[in-house]
Amino acid sequence: MLEHLPQWIGALMRNVRAGHAKLAIVQPELTITGVHIDLSSPAFPDGGRLPERFTADGAGVSPPLVWNGVPLGTRSLALIVEDPDAPAPNPLVHAIVCGIPPGERRLAEGAIRADGGGDAGGGDIGRNSAFGEGWLPPDPPAGHGSHDYIFQLFALADVPLFRRHPGRSALLNAMEGKVLAAGLLVGTYSRGEAAMTGGGKAVPRAVARHG
């Protein structure tokens, strides 16, 4: 979406960012407890740079994810990936996956893609900020600095019902009062500057501990 902006425009907008306080995982209506899901990826460390393969500069496929620590009573899982550093009023949504079976413990590389009416395992792919299904590859403006890509996994006490391909608002409304636990994983990416091997900016620990 933003990969073709000139670097000088990115530099001018460097301090224009949606903000981490607008991430789904810190919204008060979700009333997330202290139960923590251990969410990680074999492709990058928490706080580390996303390999180019998963961005608009590479193949643009979704990264693999694995998790543990799903609490008893979970009936479904939901994932949302957001960029709070986007130069926009709200974080950009890079992926939504809902209806993940409670016994599932991984999403394979490339699994977040357009799936029509939902896959055979019960998952359904929601709408990203480009109004499409599937994974929206990170493409921060050159010169805008490092962006955090926040993978947020929620254990739910119910199986929310949606119209096909829910967006962010529909997902948050459906999760209200149903979140048993959450997990959080941060990947970073930037253009037009030296690649960083670690995280660009730390996610506040208050946010991280919600996950």
Read off the CATH number of the domain in which 28 is found: 3.90.280.10
The answer as to whether 25 is a domain residue is: yes
The answer as to whether 17 is a domain residue is: yes
Confidence band for 147, pLDDT divided at 50, 70 and 90? very high
- Per the structure, the complete domain to which residue 120 belongs is given by 7-210
Confidence band for 204, pLDDT divided at 50, 70 and 90? very low
The answer as to whether 149 is a domain residue is: yes
The answer as to whether 80 is a domain residue is: yes
Whether residue 103 is predicted with pLDDT greater than 90 in this model: the reply is yes
Beta strands in 58-103 (DSSP E): 65-68, 76-83, 92-100
The answer as to whether 191 is a domain residue is: yes
pLDDT at 7: 46
* CB burial readout 118-130, b (16+ within 10 A) else e: eeeeebbbbbbbe
The answer as to whether 1 is a domain residue is: no
What would the pLDDT profile of 27-83 be if each residue is shown by its tens digit? 988 888 777 999 999 999 999 999 999 999 999 999 999 999 999 999 999 999 999
pLDDT at 178: 93
The answer as to whether 124 is a domain residue is: yes
> In sequence order, what are the residues at sequence separation of 6 or more whose Cβ sits closer than 8 angstroms to the Cβ of residue 152?
23, 24, 25, 79, 80, 81, 82, 182, 183, 184, 211
Confidence band for 116, pLDDT divided at 50, 70 and 90? low
The answer as to whether 53 is a domain residue is: yes
Q: How many distinct structural domains can be found in the chain?
A: 1
Confidence band for 93, pLDDT divided at 50, 70 and 90? very high
pLDDT at 17: 74
pLDDT at 196: 45
| Cβ-contact 128, 136 below 8 angstroms | yes
